[in-house]
Amino acid sequence: MKLIGTMTMLALLAAVLISALGVVWTRNQSRVLFVRLTALQNQRDGLNIEYGKLELEQATYAEPRRVDSEARLKLDMVDPQPQDIRLLRQ
């Protein structure tokens, strides 16, 4: 009878130790994942800021007055004369 009690105590002790190790490992994994999540959220925020800046830059470059100005200054483009315009019918 004493042997069964001792074996039961050892089994319970092993179960408690395994459970404790599982809790420690789970908490460590949780901390590691939380740190990674925070880093990824910071990266996302940085990318969102950069995307906003790029959208603003694109809007600036695509502004019709700027396109017209660049075409005239850098490409020497001009408006066509009325006699140079031809209408095509389909």
What are the tens digits of pLDDT across the range 12-63?
999 999 999 999 999 999 999 999 999 999 999 999 999 999 999 999 988 9
Domain assignment present for 69: yes
- What is the domain count for the chain? 1
Cβ contact 43:49 at 8 Å: no
Question: Cβ distance 78 to 72 under 8 Å?
Answer: yes
Band of residue 8 on the pLDDT scale cut at 50, 70, 90: very high
Residue 87 has a pLDDT of: 87
Cα-Cα-Cα-Cα dihedral sign, residues 56, 61, 66, 68: negative
- Tell me if 46 is assigned to some domain: yes
Residue 15 lies in a domain: no
Residue 17 lies in a domain: no
Angle of helix 2-61 relative to helix 64-74, nearest 10 degrees, comes to: 60
CB count within 10 Å of CB 1 equals: 5
CB 71 within 8 A of CB 77: yes
- Structural domain span for residue 70: 26-76
Distance separating alpha carbons of residues 52 and 56, to the nearest angstrom: 6
What local confidence, expressed as pLDDT, does residue 30 receive?
98
pLDDT of amino acid 52? 97
- Domain for residue 55, yes or no? yes
Confirm whether pTM is higher than 0.85.
no
* Residue 12 within a domain: no
The predicted structure's pLDDT at residue 20: 97
